Structure 1
C-alpha cells in the first residue's frame, strides 16, 4: 500500500479557480447546498456542466469526452461537492460507468453510451448490493439464465441510488452456479434498462422522508447479448477494479463539508469558543490528510495503476470522518435539530444527522473495507 505526496499543478489550480467562478455565477444566492453526490437530481445543471467540459472529462474525445486526467476530474468534483451543487443526475455514470465501459465495454457499447454520459444526458445506477449480500458481493444471488439472443435476469438489488430517475444500471449477477469454495467465479455484469418490462423500482426512504435509495426487483428481465459488459464470468474482477473509482474520490469525505463550512461561518471569529475552535482545528487536520490520500489515488489512476487497496482505506477513513464530524458539530452547536427552521447551518446539520448513516453503505461497510486494507498491508 502506497500513498505518494503530491500537490496540484498551476494548470490544475487554474481549473479550480474556473470552477469556483462558474459556481458563484450559476448557483443562486439562496442556494441550499446538497450533501454529497446524492444531492438533487438536476438534469439541466448536469447538461450545463457538460457544456463546459466538466462531465465525462476522462472520456476520450472520440467518444464525446475531453481526454482529461483523473486529477482534473478530482479538482472539478471537489469544488462541486464542497459547494453542494446538484450533481445527483450524472455523477455515478461520470465517476464509475464511463471508466468501466472504457475498460470492458464493446466498441458498440462505448459509442452508444459514452457520448450521452459526456453530454450529461445519460444516467446510470449501480446494481451490486442485495438484501442478503451487501459488502460481500461475491454472494449475490441475482441470476441470469441464457436464452435465445440474450439472458433473462431475476433477483433483487438494494441501495440502488436514483434508480427511480436514471436510465440504466450495471447489474452484477450469477451466470453460472456457485461452486464450493469459489464463490467469486461465475459472476458477470449486464447493462439493464431500468424501464424494461419486469423491472420494479421501490423507494427506500431516509428517516426524514427523502428518497435517494431504492430496491430494484427484476423478474425475468430480458437483456440482449450486446448488453453484456465485459466477459461472461469476469464480473468479480471487473467490479473490484471499478471500486478504485467508487471508493477513492472526494465524494467519500466531502458529503458533510457544507455543514462544517456553515458552522465556521456561524461560530468562528474573534469571540470563538474554545470548544468550537477545537472542533474546527481537529477536523480541518483530518480533512487535509484524507484529501492528500485521495489525491494520491487519483495520481495513481492517471499512471495506469489499480489502487484498489488504497481506495478502500480512503473510503474507510472518509466514512469515519464524515460521521464523526456530524456528531462533533451536533455537540458543539448546542442547538435543536429541525430541518425546516433555523439558520442554514442548523438545517443542514439536521439533514446530516438523519442521512449520514448511509455513508457506511455506499462503497462498502467499514468492516469489509478494513479487511481489504489489512489484507493489502499483509501482502
Structure 2
C-alpha cells in the first residue's frame, strides 16, 4: 500500500507541508520540464511535484485532485505561481478533457503519484489508517459509498474476493467470515474496530506489516475505484500528450505497478512479425520507454524515509503514432484481474 506522496518538510502548496515528494529528483529527471511547456500533475496532493516543476522551468501546470481539501490547500501556491498554475477538483482519469477545456492541451508532460497521500493517512477523520481510530470512511472525494458501507453490505464471498484480489491477502476468506460474524453483533463503523477484527485472524511476526494492512488497502482501492482510474488515466495521458511529451508514474504497490508496466510494455512494442509470415498488422508504438525497468529510490532517500522503499517509477516518451484507444487494454481492468484471480 502506498504510504505517502512525500517525506520530510517542505513548503509545498504555499506553506510548510509535512512531506517532500518521493523520488523527486528522479521524477524531474524523467519529466525534464522546459520553458513555455504545459504539464499535468494528476495527483496534486500537497503540491510538492507541482512546485518543483514550476521552479524548474517557466511553464504552466494543471494540478488535479479529487480531494477538495487538497485543492483548498493549494490556494496559496496558485497565487504565488502568478497565473502559471490552475487547480481542478476532478479525477485524473479526466486529465485529457480537463487539459483541453482549460487550454493546456496538447501536453508536454504528465506526472502521476498513485495511491493515498500521507496527509490523508495522518487525518484520523478520513478513516484511511488503522493506526489512528476514526470513522471507517476511506473516500478520497467527499461523496459515494464508504468503507463502512462495503463492510456492512457486501456478501461474505464478494467481500473475501475484494480482499484477496485488491489486497493480495491470502487469508481473505477467514477475514471476510470474521467481518460478517462481527457485523451481526454490532455495526463496524470505526477503523479500530475493523483492525481489531482482522488482527484476530492474521498473525504478524515482529517486523512484519500490520495484520490489517492488506485488508485496508483492498477496501480503499474498492471504495475509490483506484485501479480503474489508473487505467483510464494512462489512456487519457496517451491521448493528451504531444509527440515528445513525457509520462512519469510513481507507484507504491504491486497492483498499480503491474498495470503501469503492462500498459507501457504494450504501448511501446511494435506488432510482432516473422520472416516466415506476412508482416503483422497493428498500431505503431505510441510510447518509447525512458528506462529499461522500474526506477527505485536510492539508499539515501530510503534511509531518510522508509516509505520510499516500495516506490517504483516508470516513464515513457510519446511518439508520433496515434493513440491506441482505451479499449485496447487487455487484462488491465480490475474486473478482468478479478476473473483471473478468482478463488
TM > 0.5: no
